[in-house]
Chain A
Amino acid sequence: MNERRMLDDQHFETMIEEESICTSSNVVYDAPHKALYDTPMHYCPGCGHGVVHRLLAEVFEEMDIIKEVIGVAPVGCSVLAYNYLNIDMSEAAHGRASAVATGIKRVLPDKLVFSYQGDGDLAAIGTGETIHTCNRGENILILFINNGIYGMTGGQMAPTTLPGMKSTTSPFGRNVETMGNPLKITDLVAQLPGTVYVTRQAVHKPVNVRKTKKAIQKAFEYQQNGGKGTCFIEVVSNCPSNWKMTPLDSNKWMEENMLPFYPLGDLKTPSGKEN
Chain B
Amino acid sequence: MAKVKGDIIIDIEKCKGCELCTDACPQDSLETAKQVNSKGYLYIVKIEDNCTGCTNCALVCPEGAITVYRKVNNQKKEIAKFKNITNDITLTVNE
Residue of A nearest to B13 (CB): A40
Q: Given A27-B67, A50-B64, A206–B85 Cβ distance below 8 Å? A: no
- Measured CA separation A83–B81 after assembly (Å): 56
Residue of A nearest to B69 (CB): A26
Q: Given A20-B7, A36-B64, A51-B61, A251–B20 Cβ distance below 8 Å? A: yes
Interface size class of B (residues with CB under 8 A): 35 or more
Q: Of B20, B24, B70, B92, which is within 8 A of A28 by CB?
A: B70
Q: Does B9 contact A (CB under 8 A)?
A: yes
Q: Which of A218-275 contact B (CB under 8 A)?
A: 240, 246-248, 251
Chain A residues within 8 Å of B5, by CB: 21
Q: Does A107 contact B (CB under 8 A)?
A: no
A49 touches B69 (CB 8 A): no
Q: Does B48 contact A (CB under 8 A)?
A: no
Q: Does B34 contact A (CB under 8 A)?
A: no
Residue of B nearest to A50 (CB): B62
A40 touches B39 (CB 8 A): yes
B60 touches A203 (CB 8 A): yes
Number of A-B contacts (CB under 8 A): 148
Residue of B nearest to A16 (CB): B76
Task: Kindly name the residue among A4, A10, A203 whose own CB sees the greatest number of chain B CB atoms within 10 A.
Answer: A4
B17 touches A210 (CB 8 A): no
- Measured CA separation A43–B14 after assembly (Å): 11
A21 touches B81 (CB 8 A): no
B24 touches A21 (CB 8 A): no
Q: Of B69, B71, B95, which is within 8 A of A2 by CB?
A: B95
Chain A residues within 8 Å of B17, by CB: 45
Q: Does B2 contact A (CB under 8 A)?
A: no
Q: Please give the residue numbers on chain A whose beta carbons come within 8 Å of chain B beta carbons, in ascending order.
A: 1-8, 10-23, 26-32, 36, 40-41, 43-51, 54, 203-206, 209-210, 240, 246-248, 251
Could you list 12 further interchain pairs (A-B, Cβ under 8 angstroms) beyond the known A15-B81, A18-B76, A203-B60?
Answer: A13-B81, A14-B81, A15-B82, A28-B70, A29-B58, A29-B59, A30-B67, A45-B17, A50-B61, A50-B62, A206-B24, A251-B20
14 chain-A/chain-B pairs, Cβ below 8 angstroms: A2-B92, A6-B85, A14-B78, A14-B82, A16-B78, A21-B71, A22-B69, A26-B70, A26-B71, A28-B69, A29-B55, A29-B59, A29-B66, A46-B16
Q: Please give the residue numbers on chain B whose beta carbons come within 8 Å of chain A beta carbons, in ascending order.
A: 5-7, 9, 13-14, 16-20, 23-24, 39, 41, 53, 55-56, 58-71, 75-83, 85-95
6 closest A-B pairs by CB:
A50-B62, A31-B64, A46-B18, A45-B16, A45-B18, A29-B68
